[in-house]
A and B are shown apart, each in its own frame.
Chain A
Amino acid sequence: MGLDEILGEQIPRRKFLKRTILGGAVLAGAPIFSSLLSNGEAQAQDEPLSGMFTREGLAQIIREALSKGGDFADVYVERIFVTTIAFSEGRVESVKYGLDQGAGVRVLKGDQTGYAYSQDLELSSIVKAARTAAVIASGPAREKIARLSVRTSMNCVPFALNFLDVKEKEKVAIVERANAAARAVDPRITQVKLTYEDTIDSYVLANSEGVFVSDELPLIWITVDAIAADNGKKRPGYVRVSGRSGFEFFNRNSPEDAGRKAAKQAVTMLDSSPAPMGEMPVVLASGGGVMFHEAVGHGLEADAVKRQTSMFAGKVGQVVGSDNVTVVDDATIPNLRGSFNFDGEGTPAQKNVLIDKGVLVGYMNDLITAKYLGVPPTGNGRRESYRNYPLVRMTNTYLAPGSLEPQEIIEATQKGIYAKDLGGGEVDTASGDFTFGVREAYLIENGKIGAPVLGATLIGSGPEIMKRVDMVGNDISYWPGTCGKGQWVPVTSGAPTLRISRITIGGRE
């Protein structure tokens, strides 16, 4: 899938909604984003201030960015409305709301990046940021800047109920439902702590090659931390549910299910014993994608390949896993936490097969690494916010499902561990050593799930473990996460039930 640019003058699929700090209808005085219309001028009802985001305003910023030479420049203007509810001990501790807005200007000169951002959205302030970013270069001004034309894409993140139109009372109700369900699971549940957060993220991006995109993305998550206590022992249970949906998310993702799941995990783990030590087979329940995110995902981000700090550098075409292993990164899966329509550089979201039946076929790229490797961009140039320049990041990374029934995989395992729920993980891409955590696990004895064991850290080396994936189920699901690499982006990691024939477990018995 290459660039999908629509020349000509089209109205962006998503217009910026005119929102004020209250999130209601237009009020005078608040900075407004405008959409580009066929004649390139602001809509009639815009405030006088809003001329800054006309074609000419954006072009001015880009020209200033390239005023000292430079090969490329982009400007990213963003407004984020966020609502957060903190709930514990059966009550709403606090309700939080904020508007975070700013504009970041990036200039590339060869291998060098200059970046500056401003929280003030006056054109003059963004132009000043552009001038600051420009100092990475030191030559004559770039004269030729491509005319901006709107790029559209398919809509991977359709949503119905904008959070700004939903009363806080209804959001509190969601948290209360999850709390009530958690507490009802067992009298040994002594504490439940919940967080709700919703975000509406609107942005505009324009670059010196004439790309213009705009979009509005929702993101929602709730976390439930439950504590079960018995005989002086306390055990935690945890669930996070998240997606890029509007408030209708909760029609398909029941708060009660989330609450119950966290509470059940806590109660189950009250009976757990310490995990065993040594190497053994491990069956990961559906949703164990974190392993792939760490074992191969980061190593396949092309910036590490370019720097030669990834053990996957130079291995395209080589076998890096068993033939059960097909790993994909796909930002187009509808409404997942890691999905979007354009990455942070305006490249449309796409599906990228990274490993195909065990053979490494490609890396994830941003514009810089794509150019370096001489390949098309893959839509992985993401940024946390206007405060950051883009880096190669994952989106929804998953092991493609196979054909086995999950039960078959458990029954085929004489002795080992069943990892029902994973925590996060980390990796050293140079050595290939990765780790991931297990929140809820059980012994497998004679092909049956047995006693619960305490969460442990599992470790391995990327390709070595990938070659030991010997059974893959048909039941894929996606685990919501947040990936850190100097800046944070929302992702999912997906996998069906699968078995690793042998892996070291950080237990203590």
Chain B
Amino acid sequence: MSTKSVSKWLLENLMSAGVQQAEVFMQEGSTLQLEVREGKLESISQAQMAGVGIRSIVNQKLSFVHTSDFSKDVLKQTIKKAISLAEQASPSEFNKLPAESPRKMVMEIFDPEITSISIKRKVELLREMEAAALKHDPSVRRSEHVGYSETSGTVGVFNTNGLSYSYDASSCHLGVSVVAERDGRMETGYEERTSCRFKRLPSPEELGKEAARRAVLLLGSRPVSSQKVPVVFDPQVGFTVLAALAQALRGDNVNRRMSYLGDRVGDKIASELVTIRDNGRLPQGPSSRPIDSEGVSTSDLVLVEKGVLKDFLYDYSSALRAGKKPSGNAVRGSYRDLPQVGFSNYYMEKGSSKPQDIIKDTANGLYVTKLAGWWLGLNPASSDFSSAASGLWIKNGEFSQPVSGVTIASTVLDMLAAIDAVADDLVFKGGISCPTFRVKEMALSGPDA
């Protein structure tokens, strides 16, 4: 049975079993992961997968079941389970499925060649990436992780309101992490990139060199003592501020009064240099999709414009509850998950400064290249931010000694309001992206002098 006919069969049987609204989310495809070490293939993992997730609304109550077994008997039992489960949920008038059919969109998010490019070729890419990293500097002794992964397949969303949309998508990812060593101490650096198309991945040499550079710059790093200073965020770590803001921007958290941004649409929550977007339609964006995981058309959403909070992100049901239009932000990890509010290509818009000019303009502060533990304690209700930090000290507008063993802390809202420079070096590497930016002051905590 084809995906479409299985879905049709499921929806018909769900309806005749007494379900008022139902949605079938189908996912099938292939995955591949490769790891190289010391020039050799270390591991290869492959699979073909297929599965279905079914949302059922019975008397306004919501249940969800999933299976990867498509035999008729199992599907029949799955339907029975979906109905008996719904009985245990509480009714809500907002348990509704999208009714509008999204307009068909052609997006270049599927690479028809990706699965036919040989494994040998992909392994070669990894070997080149590792070799470039190890060649970069004699202190770069070994790699920690050199990996390629890819997924390719079809997603289909079908519901009892007549919504029926399927599309092909692929994604490939290169990641490299290396260790530099000096005087018995090791430091690590990494770089990665995600793309929908194999040919659009950057050169492996570029990624390998960058990972090596980031490790080498930390060699000999030492803590500094506690002080309040400006902090410049390298793009690889600046995304953490957006990640910290993310949960508070979710419309479902706002509806539940769990967000510190609730009621603040229209308020200035950041400096006017800050514009933040979530664009599900970004051309060549690593997370671009024609529809979200409920079948709602994706959109280009301005969340913060020149510092002013404009909007939250919604899925269908949270949008209904808030009296807003759904923005196409329903996300699922896989067919095994219920959709929930999430992000696509989420980023801070580039500014007009040059990154090197921001450094030159900083008399005394920290240029952060690595953050750890920043995600601990993040929650939508309170905006505290505290993280281990490493990078380069900036003295009189120039890089001086490498720093590690310190923390930087503030609140997300204070940080956004204190962004006083944004560079033009925005690159979409996958996930959350941002350019270099500076926060005027943060509390840097270190050991006593």
Residues on A lying within 8 angstroms of B by beta carbon are 20-22, 27-31, 85-86, 88-89, 91-102, 111-120, 129, 132-133, 135-136, 168-169, 172, 190-191, 193, 225, 227, 229, 233-236, 238, 274-275, 277-279, 307-309, 311, 387-389, 423-428, 430-431, 433-439, 454-457, 459-461, 502, 504-509
Contacts and interface: CB of A to CB of B under 8 A. Distances in A.
B256 A191 contact: yes
Contact of B85 (A168, A424, A427, A428): A168
B22 to A, nearest CB: 14
A112 B376 contact: no
B69 A99 contact: yes
Nearest to A279: B447
A114 B44 contact: yes
A112 B407 contact: no
Contacts of A85: 88
Given A435-B376, A457-B407, A506-B408, A172 B64 contact: no
A374 B48 CA distance: 36
A497 to B, nearest CB: 21
B63 interface: yes
Given A95-B85, A430-B144, A506 B41 contact: no
Given A22-B81, A504-B406, A311 B47 contact: no
B381 interface: yes
Interface residues of B, number: 82
Contacts of A30: 69, 73-74, 77
Interface string B206-247: 000000000000100001011000000000000000000000
A120 B28 CA distance: 13
A309 B186 contact: yes
A132 B376 contact: no
A235 B411 CA distance: 13
A400 B257 CA distance: 42
B62 A93 contact: yes
Contacts of B447: 278-279, 502, 504
23 contacts: A28-B73, A91-B90, A91-B92, A95-B64, A95-B85, A96-B64, A97-B64, A98-B53, A112-B42, A113-B42, A115-B46, A132-B46, A136-B43, A190-B257, A278-B226, A388-B45, A433-B388, A438-B377, A454-B382, A455-B376, A507-B409, A507-B443, A508-B410
B37 interface: yes
Contacts of A22: 77, 80-81
Interface in B350-395: 372-374, 376-377, 379, 381-382, 384, 386-388, 390
A100 B144 contact: no
Contacts of B223: 504
Given A111-B40, A431-B185, 4 more contacts: A95-B62, A98-B67, A112-B41, A431-B404
B304 to A, nearest CB: 20
Nearest to B404: A433
A96 B442 CA distance: 43
A507 B445 contact: yes
A94 B63 contact: yes
Contacts of B47: 116-119, 129, 387
Contact of A428 (B86, B188, B443): B188
Given A21-B74, A278-B447, A457-B386, A423 B62 contact: no
A313 to B, nearest CB: 10
B394 to A, nearest CB: 20
A507 B445 CA distance: 7
Interface in B246-285: 256-258, 260
A279 B406 CA distance: 10
Contacts of A507: 386, 409, 443, 445
Contacts of A229: 257
Contact of A457 (B188, B336, B388, B410): B388
B226 A99 contact: no
A99 B74 CA distance: 10
A86 B340 CA distance: 12
B161 interface: no
Contact of A309 (B179, B338, B386, B388): B179
A207 to B, nearest CB: 17
A233 B384 CA distance: 12
Contact of B66 (A100, A114, A430): A100
Nearest to B66: A98
Contacts of B372: 426-428, 433-435, 459
Given A437-B376, A507-B386, A169 B65 contact: no
Nearest to A280: B448
Nearest to A87: B90
